Structure 1
Amino acid sequence: MKVSRSVLGISMVIAVVFILWGIVLPKNMSSITSQIQQFIQHKFGWFYLLAASAFLVFSIFLVFSKYGNIRLGKDDEKPEYSFITWFAMLFSAGMGIGLVFWGVAEPLSHFASPPVGEGGTTGAAREALKDTLFHWGLHPWAIYTLIGLSLAYFKFRKNAPGLISATFYPILGEKVKGPIGKTIDILAVFATLFGVATSLGFGAAQISGGLSSLIPNIPNNFTTQLIIIAIVTILFISSALSGLDKGIKYLSNGNIALAVLLMLVLLFIGPTEFIANSFTTMLGDYIQRLPAMSLQMSPFTESQQAQWTQAWTIFYWAWWISWAPFVGTFIARVSRGRTVREFILGVLLVPTIFSAIWFAIMGGSGIYQEIFSKAGIVNVINKQGTEIALFKFLEAFPLGSILSVLAILLIATFFITSADSATFVLGMQVTHGSLNPSKTIRVIWGLILSVSAAVLLGTGGLQGLQTASIISAFPFALVLILMMVSLVKALNKEKIVKIVSKPSRAN
């Protein structure tokens, strides 16, 4: 295994400088990064919307194109993992912590403060579920599809290194081995580091909030979050050292089993009919309104809609882009042998449908409690923080404490698999795309990830986590656009075999 000293060295320096900056001058770091984030968000919000929509249109085009039957590997290769295991691994890496964190909190936030109209109404409830699915549906998975497909295609079909830079060979040629290619890989490491650190911070904050709800003597503060990060760091590094086919595989399957168990319990002890109706309505509204929502910026007034788009949609698109090199690399690693069409449909549709079911159960039940039971979850969010919403929601159910313990366990396992997968991906990027980076490299990156998450939480809380995502995503969005161009050039050189049936001769 050969280590790229330039990529590893520069990436490490950036990470260490950031960590030291946050420790020594936390207020200065928070102020400067907030200013950068506001500039990017307000000046280039339109760019994020156009880019994410372009990636989705491109992915759908490939499904119906002549390239759909191209296999990510040799023409006779079979998939390395079963469909269930494949889905579990990509989903756990892609959205696990976020779904649990925002499952109740986001729909209720939109319900209380919608982009248009008055909050707390039945109309706001309907819009809340549709808007939530918009943020977790096809667009983020299209971003992951683009980078995952590109990496898998060049790695398994063209025998290129498993590096982000290697996907640019059709437009850069041998320059991918020089400074330009190294810069692309460093940007990928930078985006991965802060994108994943953001999610780990969310996970630590929610575990802290859950423990505080269950055991009042445990304070929900930064100290508790630090202890949680330290404990989980030990666990995910242990998992990382066990390898892809042991730690991540088994934990990913366990994640899905826990998530499905929690959903089924809440579905059948909750307002089942309301949930089913909410799911159907949400899916219909989402499909009908998708084009308009994808490009909504409200440029003619500083309206409630414009502020909402900046605070929610732009943040999410940036967060998904910052996660793209991590999730895309990991999805590519476990997708050998699948066809282009199978890959895209699997990555786009299955997680989107799962997300729709998840938010119908979690968010739909939360809205039901708020409307019909006056549960006061919105007040809890405003007073105690977003991370408490899930546990306030679970209090209303029979055996609520047991459900809260199950939720904390789910968050912890998602935390472990996300961090575990991230150390694997970061290790690949600094070892010339090695499919099995050394344990030492993975441990080092695991520690850096955890410290970065702690610094972000300590300097800016949840707002600091969002700031890091938006800043790290901006340069990598440009990389993704060029990657799309490069993939098209490569696919155009494929020899597509068309099977034409001969007409039978008349007797």
Structure 2
Amino acid sequence: MAQTQTDSPPRSHKLGDPVVLVLTIGFVLAFVLLSLYDIELVADSISSGFAWTALTLGSYFQLLLILTFFIAIGLAMTPAAKARIGNLDAPEMSTFKWLSIILCTLLAGGGVFFAAGEPVYHFVVTPPAFDTEAGTAEAVAGALAQSFMHWGFLAWAVLGSLSAVVLAHAHYVKGEPLQPRTLLYPVFGKRLMRGPLGGVVDACCVIAVVAGTVGPIGFLATQMSYGLHELFGLPEGYPTQLGILVVLGAVYVGSAVSGVHRGIQLLSRFNVFLALAIALVIVVFGPTLFLVNSYLQSTGTYLSQFFTMASMTAETAPAWWMQWWTVFFFAWFIGYAPLMAIFVARISRGRTIRQMILAVAVIAPIATTIWFTLLGGSGIYYQLTGTIDLTEALNNFQFDVATLTVAQALPGGTWMAFAILLLTSIFVATTGDSMSYSIAVVGAGHDAPSSLIRAFWGITMALMAAILLYMGAGQIGVLQQFIVLTAIPVSLILLPSLWKGPQAAYAMAREQGIID
């Protein structure tokens, strides 16, 4: 009889794996204390490691994402993809709820923050894959296409396709825990699962997610503080940022504690409805024809120039550009991937492998490109027509300024800007709650981690953001760079999924009598 999820975890696991707790809490304390001791030493050290990693391993990260996407799509087209996850005949949740959670969990990690500013940046600074003149009508398609490359098929596929299949088979069929170490179970077997090395593997993945989640939480506080000051005259500064962190932390901690089927699901559904309402206003009252034409042209450019953009390296493009754009984003997604895969496997019980892969690697990226076109495409339109000028702000990487400026230029002005700030806040909250839940699952090794541990991780990430903001917003950026370093060990954990994912899918299909 196949194993199913555990509803009543053993008491010995409720506080989590001690190796994972010691290493991850040790990292948080070490980063904060070292920053307090010598902030420049920490920043310079991570910056040097970031630059070396991007230059030396950038091509490897790109190749990992490319292979993951194409192998996953190939797997989805096979008969084995009819196998159902979790040995259920019907899905645990409706398709709309399921897709809402998937979309909100990743897009919040930065997609909303960059959706307005990144396309405009590529419009005023031509990406190396194109030779159009910056700031002209001919540059529109390339600018959006480059954004699609960073947030499209490759980014999503690594987060929950092949790795989620490996986890689903190992957990629901073999009875292994929902932990990153389980991705290596088909290679190393029980020795890794039961030994301290497994704790080290889990800790690497948790540290990557903490670094990747604290960043958006901190950036949101600065963005909201700036936005509330510009829109309503509220004082801008650390007290306001701290107040925002308290409210945000309370929301996503409460959501994480209530679980997947309550708070996480409700937040995600609300955010999807709010995003749809904002999109409808932009489509009806915004530069509709420009956006439709731009989307069609940019999608064509994205597909025709796909391999050119995906395979560009520091040898064929400026090293600084690759470091701060393609490699940074791809490493960020790699760092998130194991815990996102755990989350996707957890919420996809009853779905077929084909449904899960297509939802994560096709439907979600298409929705993301539409969202980037609505916000970023509108920003390009207003930049092109002279309504706004974001050249200086974006050259200084001030994406909070870009988001608010574009939002204020949209139909509705101040109220649209407030709605987008609210949307961004809840998107970040959905990342906070889902990652707090996933980290707790990793520590416990089962699907029902202690509410205390869920709350602990949510509070820890908010507190870390508050401390780093007190030192200066730049230290949040330093922590974001650190996720590129964590992508090195995490990528090695993901690597076996390239061949173990298809093997797991065929094993599930045979066990369910779908194929001989």
- Once the two structures are superposed, the pairs formed by residues 211-230 of structure 1 within 5 Å of their partners are 211-219=228-236, 221-230=237-246
Distance 1:423 1:494, change over 3 A: closer
Kindly state the Cα deviation for residue 191 of structure 1 after the two structures are TM-superposed.
Answer: 1.4
| Alignment-derived partner of residue 105 in structure 1 | 117
- Paired letter, 2:203: I
Aligned-pair identity (%): 30
Q: Are 2:211 and 2:483, in contact at CA under 8 Å, matched by a contact in 1?
A: yes
Distance 1:384 1:428 in 2: 35
Q: Are 1:167 and 1:483, in contact at CA under 8 Å, matched by a contact in 2?
A: yes
Distance 1:127 1:161 in 2: 44
| Alignment-derived partner of residue 250 in structure 2 | 234
User: Given the alignment, which residue of 39, 42, 45 partners 2:55?
Assistant: 42
| Alignment-derived partner of residue 488 in structure 2 | 474
Moved more, 118-127 or 46-55: 118-127
- 1:26-71 CA distance string (max 9 Å, x none): 2221111111111111111111111111111221121123421121
Aligned: 1:192 with 2:192: no
Distance 1:435 1:384 in 2: 39
Aligned: 1:181 with 2:181: no
Kindly state the Cα deviation for residue 499 of structure 1 after the two structures are TM-superposed.
Answer: 7.5
Aligned: 1:390 with 2:390: no
Q: Are 2:163 and 2:494, in contact at CA under 8 Å, matched by a contact in 1?
A: yes
Distance 1:298 1:262, change over 3 A: same
Aligned: 1:153 with 2:169: yes
Distance 1:499 1:182, change over 3 A: closer
| Alignment-derived partner of residue 128 in structure 1 | 143
| Alignment-derived partner of residue 335 in structure 1 | 348
Distance 1:47 1:37, change over 3 A: same
Kindly state the Cα deviation for residue 186 of structure 1 after the two structures are TM-superposed.
Answer: 1.3
Distance 2:153 2:326 in 1: 13
| Alignment-derived partner of residue 366 in structure 1 | 379
- Once the two structures are superposed, the pairs formed by residues 81-480 of structure 1 within 5 Å of their partners are 81-116=93-128, 117=131, 118-144=133-159, 145-175=161-191, 176-219=193-236, 221-299=237-315, 303-304=317-318, 306-382=319-395, 385-432=398-445, 434-457=446-469, 458=471, 460-461=474-475, 463-480=477-494
Kindly state the Cα deviation for residue 138 of structure 1 after the two structures are TM-superposed.
Answer: 0.3
Kindly state the Cα deviation for residue 480 of structure 1 after the two structures are TM-superposed.
Answer: 0.5
Kindly state the Cα deviation for residue 493 of structure 1 after the two structures are TM-superposed.
Answer: 4.3
Moved more, 314-323 or 235-244: 235-244
User: Given the alignment, which residue of 63, 71, 78 partners 1:65?
Assistant: 78
Moved more, 336-345 or 167-176: 167-176
Distance 1:232 1:493, change over 3 A: closer
Distance 1:453 1:80, change over 3 A: same
Q: Are 2:353 and 2:505, in contact at CA under 8 Å, matched by a contact in 1?
A: no
Q: Which runs of 4+ in 1 moved over 4 A?
A: 491-495, 497-500
Q: How many residues align?
A: 494
Distance 1:491 1:32 in 2: 42
Kindly state the Cα deviation for residue 398 of structure 1 after the two structures are TM-superposed.
Answer: 4.1
User: Given the alignment, which residue of 11, 19, 24 partners 2:24?
Assistant: 11
Kindly state the Cα deviation for residue 382 of structure 1 after the two structures are TM-superposed.
Answer: 4.4
Distance 1:418 1:471, change over 3 A: same
What is the TM-score normalised by the length of structure 2? 0.90
CA RMSD, Structure 1 to Structure 2 (Å): 2.1
- Paired letter, 2:249: T
- Paired letter, 1:344: I
Distance 2:52 2:324 in 1: 13
Distance 1:91 1:322 in 2: 18
Distance 1:498 1:95, change over 3 A: closer
- Paired letter, 2:157: A
Q: Are 1:198 and 1:469, in contact at CA under 8 Å, matched by a contact in 2?
A: no
Kindly state the Cα deviation for residue 456 of structure 1 after the two structures are TM-superposed.
Answer: 4.7
What is the TM-score normalised by the length of structure 1? 0.92
Moved more, 206-215 or 133-142: 206-215
Kindly state the Cα deviation for residue 21 of structure 1 after the two structures are TM-superposed.
Answer: 1.9
- 1:84-107 CA distance string (max 9 Å, x none): 100001111111252221111000
Distance 2:220 2:288 in 1: 28
| Alignment-derived partner of residue 4 in structure 2 | none
- Paired letter, 1:183: V
SS of the residue aligned with 2:292? Answer: helix
Distance 1:215 1:157, change over 3 A: same
SS of the residue aligned with 1:68? Answer: helix
SS of the residue aligned with 2:219? Answer: helix
Kindly state the Cα deviation for residue 378 of structure 1 after the two structures are TM-superposed.
Answer: 2.8
Q: Are 2:215 and 2:477, in contact at CA under 8 Å, matched by a contact in 1?
A: no
SS of the residue aligned with 1:373? Answer: coil
Structure 1: runs of 5+ lacking an equivalent: 501-507
Distance 1:297 1:380, change over 3 A: closer
- 1:336-368 CA distance string (max 9 Å, x none): 111111110111111111112111111111111
Q: Are 2:100 and 2:269, in contact at CA under 8 Å, matched by a contact in 1?
A: yes
User: Given the alignment, which residue of 493, 496, 501 partners 1:487?
Assistant: 501
Structure 2: runs of 5+ lacking an equivalent: 1-8
Distance 1:153 1:199 in 2: 32
